[in-house]
Amino acid sequence: MNWKLAARAEKMNPSVIREILKVTERPGIISLAGGLPSPKTFPISAFAEACAEVLHKDGQAALQYAASEGYGPLREAVAAMLPWPVDPAQVLITTGSQQGLDLIAKVLLDPASRVLVETPTYLGALQAFSPMEPEAVSVASDDEGVLVDDLKAKAKDARFVYLLPNFQNPTGRTMTESRRAAVSAATAEAGLPIVEDNPYGDLWFDEAPPLPLTARNPDGCIYLGSFSKVLAPGLRLGFLVAPKGIFPKLLQAKQAADLHSPSFNQRMVSEVMKEGFLGRHVPTIRALYKRQRDAMLAALEREMQGLGVSFNKPAGGMFLWLRLPEGLDAVALLPEAVERGVAFVPGTPFYAGAGDPRTLRLSFVTASAEEIGTAIAALADAVREQLAH
């Protein structure tokens, strides 16, 4: 059959990087590439108990079709855990926050609509937006997030700005309090809506990040949250909080997409979250990820000495951003690194515009601290090899 593809499908290309990264599934490769939470943090026995309880107490409803908005008690629990007053009626349970991005794109973007993004930004958001064929415009950013002057200059007629203030994917950077205040004031003045994506906000190491942008102007923001990093990504559960002016449209888009997120999973999460479970569980994730970050920083300092490599020190989350010395290219380095048993993600796919070819993303949570040491030594070897060319 000769399938006639939609124009948008013609634009979907298997990424070269994904092809290279397939190799990383080979045994013996230490992958610092994936965005996978550590499976050690998945609370399996709490889920086993919750599963039995849900089936016993509420089995028929848990296995039945349900409302598109989500399971009432879970919406209430989400509203209660957010650090600003949220009406549970404004909470929409989604099939991961990735679905939130898809619904927002469907509801707010036309072909050629301008959507403002950070430099660099979350690749999965660019992928979720792209079927609507918008123009993704990169806002100049530094290690505190978007630059307010550039944001103001590009705000006119943009449908929204997509921001990741906490432990950003891919850079691990965090927007400071003063930058948040300035971004919040500038977007309110320009009438520019914010889509705030915050899957990593709870994974801070030494101190909690400043208040979300949404808390400062709930009427001008759609907020995305996720259970993937604090419970488990396989549940595919996230949520969005949207103001009254846009909530009904997002709900309609949700209905059309998948009717509702799995009733059974929603009830299990609601059950697991009872009696302050997250308050006990999340600190154990923070402690583990902090140790892993420290192992990666120590390895980088040891192994990269004198190579002209620079990197940041993320205050939370899962990722660290590294910049290679002048003349090196992360895409060209990747096969060299894989050859030596380590994989990473080159930075360029994370940019809406031209990317910085010297950048790359490292995850410090999936590999063990010992593996991280071995992997960074191998990466330093690959850098040395490339520098010698």
What single letter denotes the amino acid at residue 272? V
Determine the interface stretch with ligand PMP among 17-25, 44-52, 96-104, 368-376 (rule: CB under 6 A): 96-104
The nearer residue to ligand PMP, 38 or 374, going by C-beta atoms, is: 38
Q: How far is the CB of 307 from ligand PMP (least distance, A)?
A: 28
CB of 255 to ligand PMP, least distance (A): 19
Report if residue 97 touches ligand PMP, rule: CB under 6 A: yes
Place of tokens 């020190």: 313
Is residue 102 a contact residue for ligand PMP (CB under 6 A)? no
User: In this chain, which of 228, 261, 270, 292 binds ligand PMP, going by CB under 6 A?
Assistant: 228
Biggest alpha carbon–alpha carbon distance for the chain: 66
Residue window 27-56: x/- pattern of binding to ligand PMP, with contact defined by CB under 6 A: --------x---------------------
User: By CB under 6 A, which span of 93-101, 151-159, 209-217, 328-336 interacts with ligand PMP?
Assistant: 93-101
The helix (H) or strand (E) run that includes residue 73 is: helix 72-81
Instruction: Report if residue 363 touches ligand PMP, rule: CB under 6 A.
Output: no
> In terms of C-beta density within 10 A (0-12 exposed, 13-18 middle, 19 or more buried), how is residue 280 classed?
exposed
| Cα–Cα distance measured from residue 300 to residue 245, given in angstroms and rounded to the nearest whole number | 48
Beta strands in 269-318 (DSSP E): 310-311
Q: Does 223 interact with ligand PMP (rule: CB under 6 A)?
A: no
* Three-state DSSP state, 223: strand
Residue range at the interface with ligand PMP (CB under 6 A); choices 92-100, 104-112, 131-139, 341-349: 92-100
Q: Does residue 364 touch ligand PMP according to CB under 6 A?
A: no
Cβ at position 169, least distance to ligand PMP in Å: 4
Nearer to ligand PMP, 103 or 367 (CB): 103
Give CA–CA dist 203/378, Å, rounded: 28
What is 17-53 written as a DSSP string? HHHHHHGGGSTTPEE----PPPGGG--HHHHHHHHHH
Verify binding: residue 197, ligand PMP, rule CB under 6 A: yes
By CB under 6 A, name the one of 166, 171, 184, 226 that touches ligand PMP.
226
Q: Which of 37, 120, 193, 199 binds ligand PMP (CB under 6 A)?
A: 199
**124/325 with CB nearer ligand PMP:** 124
> Among residues 82 and 382, whose Cβ is nearest to ligand PMP?
82
**Region for residue 191 given its phi and psi (left: phi exceeds 0; alpha: psi -120 to 50; beta: otherwise):** left
261 token code pair: 């997120």
Q: Which residues contact 76 (CB under 8 A, 6 or more apart)?
A: 88
Residue 265's nearest CA partner among 36, 55, 78 is 55
Residues that bind ligand PMP (CB under 6 A): 35, 96-98, 122, 124, 164, 169, 197, 199, 226, 228, 233, 238
